Amino acid sequence: MFESDYIEAPIIRHQDVIDLVFQLTGGEGFIAGGFARFCVSNNESPINPGDIDVFCVSQDVFDRIRAAFRAHPDCVRKSETSIETKFEFRMSTGWHRNAYAIQLIRPVQIFNMVSDGDVNRVLDNFDFTVSKCAILPSGKAVAHADFYEHDKANELVITNIHCPISSMKRVIKYCNKGFRIENRELLKLFDDYENRAAEWKELVRAGLNADDLNSWPEERREQFVQTMYFD
């Protein structure tokens, strides 16, 4: 069912939330990333996720789930971008202070950023082994083959880099949550940067040093955003 880089993983916690998500999606899409990690982690107190990311194999699936979310009386749309639509689920007694936001991820491929296709294709594009987890509507869960070793130590091991600078920002974000990273993993980011073309470095430097990106021509601004986050 899964490629050799991934193993089936038992779901340990929050089955009720998982069931609710797939009830809302009509049994389509799959949960991947931090919430899936939280549900399959063997740690006694796993690091909390920020939200629930739902991925779709195709635009048709995305459109059906988004329409179902919008029509549900207990779902509230919080924000929408070209990449994701963020919902929150309203509990019967009002806003639940511990309720998770559900982010419906649009299936796209922008440069090297991939969020469409099956679970293997999506997980292969994730950056850390501890993020490479997914829960399917069938009730099965999958994790990277090295997940349990790295999750036990809350250790970040980098397997994919879109942009070394945006990846560094994600490392900082995860470390602020309680994860740790070895110097040899950080070296991957420096090596990646050193191996980038001069034109790439020039564009990224100009964008990061710009006082106001909105003053740039739209095409140039979009090129920077795509390069910074998706290349």
Q: What is the CATH number of the domain that holds 118?
A: 3.30.460.10
- CA-based torsion, 107, 131, 81, 102: positive or negative: positive
Do residues 40 and 59 make contact, with C-beta atoms less than 8 angstroms apart?
A: no
pLDDT tens figures, 155-181:
999 999 999 999 999 999 999 999 999
Q: Establish if 39 belongs to a structural domain.
A: yes
Q: Report the domain count for the chain.
A: 1
Identity at 41, one-letter amino acid code: S
Q: Which residues contact 221 (CB under 8 A, 6 or more apart)?
A: 213, 214
Would you state the structure tokens that stand for residue 124, as one six-digit string? 């292969």
In-domain check, residue 89: yes
Classify residue 87: in a domain, yes or no: yes
Task: Give residue-wise pLDDT tens across range 77-118.
Answer: 888 887 888 888 765 444 445 567 899 999 988 878 889 999
The candidate with the shortest Cα–Cα distance to 55, out of 8, 2, 16, 109, is 109
Domain, as residue range, for 85: 6-153
For residue 113, the number of C-alpha atoms closer than 13 Å in the C-beta half-sphere is: 17
**Residue 176 forms part of a structural domain:** no
Is 74's pLDDT higher than 90?
no
Task: Tell whether 220 is covered by a domain.
Answer: no
What whole-number distance in Å separates Cα of residue 182 and Cα of residue 170? 15
